[in-house]
Structure 1
Amino acid sequence: MFKIRLAFLLVIGVLIAGNASAQAWQEVDPTTLGWSADRLEAARRQSAALKPTAVMIVQDGRVIASWGDTSRKVNVASVRKSLLSALYGIAVAERRIDLSSSLADLGIDDNAPSLTATEKTATVRDLLMARSGVYHPAAHETGDIKRKRPKRGSHPPGSFWFYNNWDFNALGTIYRQQTGEDIFQSFEQRIAQPLAMDDFSTKDGRYAAEELSEHPAYPFKLSARDAARFGLLYLNGGRWGEKQIIPASWVRESTTPHSWAKRIRQGYGYMWWTLPPDTWGPDAFYASGYGGQVIAVIPSKRLVVVQTVDLKQNASGIRTSAFIDLLKGIASASP
């Protein structure tokens, strides 16, 4: 418990000293809020065996515990998709993007073999749900996605869910095309600055292009403490202090399961994963990236849990299932 407490105090000190204008994390002794010190320490030991870069546990905006280097920025892999989803919520509210627009409407195509007329009927909403039916090779794909990708033309747009990097990358192109804004500059100006993130800058994003597709991926680097602010924004329905950063209606819609990944009993919204309510209570969701990058939001406990993993230090990473087990241990320690 002493190690958890020490890590927590270091986080508070850095936040207050490093950014006096930020909404500093409030110092709390978790036991005064009804947390079990023994179970929290057991969760820390469980986490230590997994070798994350950092873990941060926040309840109602107060740091309950943290360990590792919460200021270290790492590539958060597919968490990038949930970050872009937030930007879409803002753009849709500002009427700069219409979810009913089709790929044909927007002039979206790809390298040969180019998209068919049927594939071009997929809408922006279909892409957000990973239901485009466009199974064109994509940049930044994992080997697992490449192996499991359905055949071109096997499913009409909107009819079938497949975790598809083509959809996610094309959404990046559509965002830049329709808003005239760079993704990373948008994130800094529209989200990072209002939330007073400590570490993020536009230099922490890059475009990853490959010859097989004209739509690049857009990897982000984030620190655990900045990721925790993003999770807290979603826990509070898109509101930060007195300002509504992301429409509350978008937060609800994007974290509602529109599809189900039956093998793992989880749902998929608009580039967010959702957790089964019988275990986690209503409306629990998380952003997930390869190697163990996670921002989990459990509204029933007013809880945000972040895990980051630097794959240069832990090449094997951490499986999502191992994080879910850790999350259960953390939740069991909470009141």
Structure 2
Amino acid sequence: MSAFIAVTVLLSGPLSAAGPSEEGFVSLFDGESLAGWQGGVEHWAAEDGQLVYKALTQPKRSADLPALKLMSARQYSDFILRFEFKLQPGANNGMAIRAPLEGDPAFVGMEIQIIDTDGWPGKLKPFQVHGSIYGVVAAKTGYLKPAGQWNEQEILCNDRHVKVTLNGFVIVDANLQEAGPIDGQEHPGLRRTRGHIGFLGHTKSVAFQNIRIKELNTKMASEENGYFPPPDSEGGWRKLDKPDEIRRIGGMDPDKLSELKDWLMASDNRNFAAVVIRNGYIVLEVERGNSSKTDSRRVASVSKAICATVLAIASERSQRGLTPKRMSFDDPAFDFIPWAKPLSDPRKAKITVKQLLNHTSGLCPEATGARNDGTWQYILGHSGDEQTAKLAFDPGTACGYSTHALAHAALVCETVTGKPYDEFAVEALFKPVGCEHWWFQYYNGGQEIGRHASHGMGMPARDLARIAYCMLRNGKWKDKQVIPKWFVVQTAAPTHNVRTPEMRWKLNPRTFSHGWELPANLTSDNTEKRSGEGIPYDARHKPGSGGQLIAFVPSLDLVITRQTGSSGNWQFDEYLRRACAAVMEADR
């Protein structure tokens, strides 16, 4: 079949000396971190402005390779991707394009070979040499620089057209409509029109730098990312009801959404309101007793993610000199809690703001059985109760889920901004994204401390979705950066180094970030049997007692929420898993 593949492989002269235009390109790698990337992050590192693969000695494609790939958080359709790379002798890597997160990108998406063709110890087939579309199109050889030298490469994907340019020479120019596999295997990924970009770790070290991309379908991307719903009093979220529109515009399977609705109704007997939003459209809205627009009863621990988000806004404003106090997440938290002085345990002085949010502070973990609510004297350790007076562990050495820690975070916000937590949250986050209904919890502290809002709050399902949608859009709402982008990026990974299980539910501690949690990191060896199976790596969520949830998945352009105002356990992760599974296969 290979002799009849309709592919043009051209040899052209080098690009002009002035170089191609960089207009419209944006960086995919900041040179300092793996922000914006997901997957096998432990096998990659940012070093001296380079993205470096830490090679396994003998990875096996079937067993090791899926865990080695580093995938973009976002998906891309039509684009020009440019980067520089340097190979060790005999190194082999690969570039995934239009690939889903699961499966081997060479088959379920496309893989552009990145390999030391001349230095490879074995004999390569034509479709395995550098620049080839693996298994599909063989690249022209002779233009790869020797190992140890930097190469420049450009990959263009425009509808069915894929072109690879190496060091100024076009080595692949293919029409996927006419091309077909030449390795004798199925390549369903050739039909994909959208997916992730990824670096596929194989053997030996490879370094990349100056990684940038220009999207060609800018109108589509602008329309997709440029929608922000008006407040519900002015019309609210756009909504799809017809199965054909749900499938065509929302990219969701109407039958699976119907099954999800049935599951929600049968999952418990609580009153609730739930919404599923894809591409900015409500594709599923289920109400039983609660209004998704107006019921603002408590959302339990969902409040923790919102408090952390509000505190990030406070920190960003403080760094710009817009607040009475300056604060970063690495600062000692009790520097901003004067009501706690003198400290009931001297170790509290070492707790950072970050540790209040990721449950590594040692402040009265729920595993102790202590009450979550009380007076401020009780919360701050001045009521005579040893459980709140003394830390359960040294800060940063263990993981203990702590409601008390987030109550402390609300006080930090008040000191930094000079405004009560509730007032600042409404001004800085709720109103800018169009929320219209909320409720706050308050603790009393008598004449000594006074009455202050804790982090606890309530909000309807539709308004919760606005906050998740703002996170989904990298913290932007219309033309305003409401939530700092750095915060959105940092929530995509654990924000601590603890490895021992969380104390109450024995959860994987790598689940916890800045208030938000990483459900894909859940392993089933916990007391709740919660699992991250089937949930994308880039998903963030925050469950709350009573079957309440806020979640967003950037790679699927998906937001889901559920509000009950109740308490008790529920299958939080199953809701998210089923919603993700309802996304049409072509959109994953």
Report if TM-score (shorter chain) is over 0.5.
yes
- Show the counterpart of 2:352: 123
Give the number of the structure whose residues are more often helix, by fraction.
Answer: 1
1:186 positional shift: 1.4
Contact 1:128 1:271 in 2 (8 A): yes
Residue 57 to residue 172, structure 1, CA distance change in 2 (3 Å): same
Partner residue of 1:7? none
- For the pair 1:328 / 2:542, whether they are aligned, the reply is no
Alignment of 1:294-333 (within 5 A): 294-311=549-566, 317=567, 319-320=569-570, 322-333=571-582
User: What is the letter of the counterpart of residue 252 of structure 2?
Assistant: W
In the alignment of these two chains, the number of paired residues is 302
Which of 174, 184, 203 in structure 1 is aligned with 2:422? 184
Q: What residue is the counterpart of 1:270 in the other structure?
A: 514
SS at match of 2:331: coil
In structure 1, distance between residues paired with 2:408 and 2:232 = 37
Q: Does 1:207 align with 2:471?
A: no
- 1:9 corresponds in structure 2 to none
Of 259, 265, 271, 1:42 maps to: 259
Decide which of 235, 250, 255 is 2:487's aligned counterpart.
250
- In the alignment, the residues of structure 1 paired with residue 467 and residue 272 of structure 2 have an alpha-carbon distance, to the nearest angstrom, of 18
SS in 2 for 1:44: helix
Indicate whether 1:90 and 2:319 are aligned. Answer: no
Cα distance in structure 2, aligned partners of 1:25 and 1:186: 28
In the TM superposition, what is the alpha-carbon distance from 1:226 to its structure 2 partner?
Answer: 0.3
- Kept in 2, the 8 Å contact 1:256–1:269? The answer is yes
Alignment of 1:125-274 (within 5 A): 125-135=354-364, 139-140=372-373, 152-197=390-435, 199-201=436-438, 204-209=439-444, 217-259=454-496, 263-265=506-508, 267-274=511-518
Deviation at 1:319, TM superposition (A): 2.7
Aligned positions of 1:100-119 closer than 5 A: 100-103=330-333, 105-106=335-336, 108=338, 110=340, 114-119=343-348
Of residues 24-33 and 247-256 in structure 1, the stretch that sits farther from structure 2 once superposed is 24-33
Superposition RMSD in Å: 3.0
| Corresponding letter in the other structure for 2:259 | A
Q: Computing the radius of gyration over CA atoms, which structure comes out larger, 1 or 2?
A: 2
Residue 38 and residue 234 in structure 1: after superposition, are their counterparts in 2 closer, same or farther (change >3 A)?
same
User: Given the two structures, how large is their TM-score scaled by the length of structure 2?
Assistant: 0.47
Higher RCO (C-alpha under 8 Å, 6+ residues apart): 1
Whether 2:295 is the aligned partner of 1:62: answer no
Instruction: Provide the C-alpha distance between the structure 2 equivalents of 1:107 and 1:304, rounded to a whole number of angstroms.
Output: 34
What fraction of aligned residue pairs are identical, expressed as a percent? 20
Cα shift at 1:103: 4.3
Instruction: Give the direction of change, closer, same or farther, for the CA distance of 1:156–1:307 in structure 2 (3 Å limit).
Output: same
The Cα of 1:267 is off from its aligned counterpart by 0.5
User: Gapped runs of 5+ residues in structure 1?
Assistant: 1-14, 142-148, 312-316
Amino acid at match of 2:347: T
Cα distance in structure 1, aligned partners of 2:231 and 2:534: 39
Q: For 1:248 and 1:103, how far apart are their aligned partners in 2? A: 22
Shift of 1:150: 10
Change over 3 Å in CA distance of 1:65–1:124 after alignment to 2:
same
Q: 1:150 to 1:276 in 2, by over 3 A?
A: farther
- Answer whether contact 1:255 1:270 (CA < 8 A) is retained: no
Structure 2 distance, partners of 1:16, 1:150, is 43
TM-score normalized with structure 1 length: 0.79
